[in-house]
Chain A
Amino acid sequence: AQRVTQPEKLLSVFKGAPVELKCNYSYSGSPELFWYVQYSRQRLQLLLRHISRESIKGFTADLNKGETSFHLKKPFAQEEDSAMYYCALKGGSEKLVFGKGTKLTVNP
């Protein structure tokens, strides 16, 4: 079974502080992992994927197969980072399995 767990429903940090949004997954094969972001009242949009190994808006995420994790990190949070973040897994089909999401609030 494919499962994505985001243990934190809410995460609050101050501007300039580091932030880490946790994501753990369960899948027996080789997954593709994604982070999607949803700003207030907007549609979900792709933030980054593990294959690309790039930094988007200062965010990075590394796939750790040993710990089955794909945590999202940013060294210095900005107020505009406040949003809902979803971790998603793609297994053998063209369906994504989403976690329940973490609402990040960056306080001034």
Chain B
Amino acid sequence: NAGVTQTPKFRILKIGQSMTLQCTQDMNHNYMYWYRQDPGMGLKLIYYSVGAGITDKGEVPNGYNVSRSTTEDFPLRLELAAPSQTSVYFCASWGPGLADNEQFFGPGTRLTVL
């Protein structure tokens, strides 16, 4: 299993541009999440999904959109990029691990908005 994969690894956007951060998991997990990680602020939940076709807002959803058309994919869309969205974005899924259910993280996407 590749686990949770994210693309791209890095991206620089200009203010007002749009982009989609891709996230895929091959563990057949129903639950998937998007977090942003800012220095000194920990992880903030942006959006999450409990299964295909179902999404819900997290703690900091403004400026983002998501969709979940399949179990495997959970893309995050930035419509009008702003400098405040400069961050590292982590996608995650929740499901069975070696011993019990746990959250699995992707490698992250480092986004800079200039």
Cα separation A43 to B33 with both chains bound (whole Å): 14
Q: A101 and B31: CB pair below 8 A?
A: no
- Nearest-Cβ distance from residue B31 to partner chain A, whole angstroms: 5
The segment out of B20-28, B38-46, B64-72, B77-85 that lies at the interface is B38-46
Partner of B102, one of A43, A46, A98, A99: A46
Any B CB within 8 A of the CB of A45: yes
Which residue on chain B has the smallest CB distance to residue A103? B40
Residues of chain B within 8 A of A49, CB atoms compared: 100, 102
Any A CB within 8 A of the CB of B48: yes
Given A42-B107, A94-B94, the answer on whether A101 and B48 have CB atoms closer than 8 Å is: no
Give residues 1-18 of A contacting B (CB, 8 Å): 6, 9
Cα separation A88 to B33 with both chains bound (whole Å): 15
Between B45, B97, B103, the greatest number of chain A beta carbons within 10 A of the residue's beta carbon is seen for B103
Q: Which A-B residue pairs are the 7 nearest by beta carbons?
A: A100-B42, A98-B43, A44-B105, A43-B105, A94-B31, A43-B107, A101-B42
Any A CB within 8 A of the CB of B75: no
Describe B's contact surface by its main secondary structure.
strand
Residues of A within 8 A of B (CB): 6, 9, 34, 36, 42-46, 49, 51-52, 86, 88, 94-96, 98-101
Which residue on chain A has the smallest CB distance to residue B91? A43
Beyond contacts A43-B90, A49-B102, A96-B103: 9 other A-B pairs, Cβ-Cβ < 8 A, are A44-B43, A46-B97, A51-B100, A86-B43, A88-B103, A94-B31, A98-B42, A100-B42, A101-B42
Number of residues from B at the complex interface, CB < 8 A: 23
Q: B102 and A34: CB pair below 8 A?
A: yes
Any A CB within 8 A of the CB of B2: no
Of the A-B pairs whose beta carbons lie under 8 Å apart in the complex, a sample of 15, sorted by A's number, is A6-B42, A9-B40, A43-B105, A44-B92, A44-B105, A46-B102, A46-B103, A52-B99, A52-B100, A86-B42, A86-B43, A88-B103, A95-B33, A96-B103, A99-B42
Cα separation A104 to B40 with both chains bound (whole Å): 13
